[in-house]
Amino acid sequence: MKTSFLLSIVVAVLLGCPVQGAAQEKGGAETNAPGSRPAKHYSLPATPENVQWGWYDANEKPRLTIHSGDTVSIETVSHSLGQIKPGVEMGTIVKLRKENPGGGPHSITGPIYVAEAEPGDTMEIQFLKIIPKEDAFNFNLPGAEFPSVGLLAAQFPEGFVRFYKLDLARMETVFKPGVVIDVKPFPGTFAVGVDPNEPAEKAGPPIRDAKGRTSTLRPWKNGSNMDLNELQAGSTLYVPVFLKGGLIWTGDSHCRQGNGEVNLTALECAFKEIEIRAIVRKDLKTEWPWAETRTHWIFMGYDEDLNQAMKIAVEQTVRWLAAQQIVPMSREEAYSLASIVGDCRVTQVVDIRKGVHCMIPKAVFVHYKPAAH
């Protein structure tokens, strides 16, 4: 189990865990914590009953119940419950978009209930393995009908879609003859249960529908449509818990995406398996999601105003730098270091709430030795 550089892991574990829905349990040799129950491994397939289209429902019955420290292999399907597949034309894609007004196009597998998770905790998600399926696509909707969906939507009135076959042995795909793209899979959408105090929408369709469900369109403090391309296998996400059990969903699976995701979609795909370890952190508090890779710490901000998203991300970066104890520093020093080495990037601009993430390289802390999963 990975040990945080901030604080030692405190995990409270309970005995007896029911498996709900069409989920499969497997025994495992790893443990949650010294002297605790052995960690278990589960599988959650993307069956019709385990996948929702475009909405998080806090009242949704968990499809799987696990304990802190357990691992889960989750299957995902592509947009609109897998209905966007090779041969589908733009007219059908437009029709599917209109069939779920206000909801995201994302197919999300879950929710997964983590027994120890309570509001105020932090959920540590370790991304252990990601295995894509072989079909992928990218499209932009017709700007004539969707003039604000995509950064240059009005300049592309007819829309465009192209399907790809992924070479999973080489982890690449051919964009067109002479252009080859390497495949770097990550979850475009990864969420815990919604924030009851999420502010009302400043733009776009309502955040919640008449049933009280929350759209998957926007990123927020619970994660959701983050589109952070650094969340590849080997990375770790830290996200605040708002609802009992945490409630984990994932979908909007990406096999490659540039920062900005400017035309609306990435190289959209689906995963045979995204294996995660979920750890409930009662010793670690966070207001916004942040992440860790082998080489960087990453701090995120989301707002309809890109400048405000940038401000949030920088504030989180400075706050973390001033609080870390690898090399103690003042807030003034933290602000200075963020300006000198922090690499702040536009995560995406097409999900109504825009995203910025600021990356601090671990290498500048010359005596820091990161733990491995």
**Which residues does the chain have with pLDDT short of 50?**
1-21, 28-31, 34-35
Q: What is the pLDDT of residue 36?
A: 72
The pLDDT of residue 7 is 38
What predicted TM-score, i.e. pTM, was given to this entire model? 0.91
Domain positions in the chain are 24-287, 296-364
- CATH for 24-287? 2.60.120.580
Convert the pLDDT of each residue in 109-125 to its tens digit. Answer: 999 999 999 999 999 99
> Quick check: do 24-287 and 296-364 share a fold?
no
Give the pLDDT confidence score for residue 22 in this predicted structure.
52
Phi, psi of 280 (to 5 degrees): -80, 120
Residue 249's pLDDT is what?
A: 98
Output the pLDDT for position 37. Answer: 83
The CATH number of the structural domain formed by 296-364 is: 3.10.28.20
pLDDT of residue 1: 42
